[in-house]
Amino acid sequence: GGSDAAKRNAGESAADLVTDGMVVGLGTGSTAAYAIRAIGRAVDAGLDVHGVPTSFASRELAREAEIPLVALDDVETIDLAIDGADQVADGHLIKGGGAAHAREKIVDTAADRFVVVADPSKEAETLDRSVPVEVLPAARQTVASAVRSAGGDPTLRTAERKDGPVVTDNGNLVVDCEFGLIDTPAALARTLSETPGVVEHGLFVGVADEVHVGRDEGVTVHEL
């Protein structure tokens, strides 16, 4: 992954977009964490915002940062969402490294403006990382075989410090699917979405509005 300085610069650059009265989607991962901490400092200085967390982890971080929180099903609109990505290519994303992509996609897509925060290691010409797919536990074999039929290589995501698989905030499993170069992300996204048992996949096609790529010195903002 990228340097802490690059992640911090990206996160703080996106946090600067937050203004009084906003409802802000709070993304998951180490880069979005810098945005959350920066928003927390702004709240401490008097900024009036409400955060909508995208995971258990981002909710805990937002609580530590003392950002007032509101539940996703209690808001009508989300003005701005700030979230990380595992890979960015041609404005499309692969997300789900933190297994939070189901709720992230709801929040990021619902937001009037979705800003991605990343470091240069996330940028690519073409998406080619494995695609995380959240599946109903009972469907992991049927989904795996559908993924193989679509030319992918599925691997059940096992936990680091727990015997057995990663279990998501929603109680589901994650299958990481290697497809190699993904030349037509929209088509693959449709195939995965139409597969019974798939709760959500990590392809965010045409969702992001802006990407803030932090470097050790400075940030580059890409309007999409």
Please report whether residue 53 would count as binding ligand DER according to CB under 6 A.
no
DSSP string, the chain: ---HHHHHHHHHHHHTT--TT-EEEE--SHHHHHHHHHHHHHHHTT---EEEESSHHHHHHHHHTT--B--GGG-S-EEEEEE--SEEETTEEE--TTS-HHHHHHHHHHEEEEEEEE-GGGB-SS--S-EEEEE-GGGHHHHHHHHHHTT-EEEEPBPSSSSSB-B-TTS-EEEEEE-SS-S-HHHHHHHHHTSTTEEEESEE-S--SEEEEE-SS-EEEEE-
Q: Is 194 a catalytic residue?
A: no
84 is in an annotated binding site: yes
151 is in an annotated binding site: no
State the binding string over 58-97 for ligand DER (x if CB under 6 A, else -). -------------------------xxxx--------xxx
Minimum CB separation from ligand DER for residue 95, in Å?
3
Please report whether residue 25 would count as binding ligand DER according to CB under 6 A.
no
Please report whether residue 28 would count as binding ligand DER according to CB under 6 A.
yes
83 is in an annotated binding site: yes
Please select the residue that binds ligand DER; options are 37, 59, 101, 105, rule is CB under 6 A.
101
The catalytic residues are 104
| Residue numbers at the binding site for ligand DER (CB under 6 A) | 1, 27-32, 83-86, 95-98, 100-101, 104
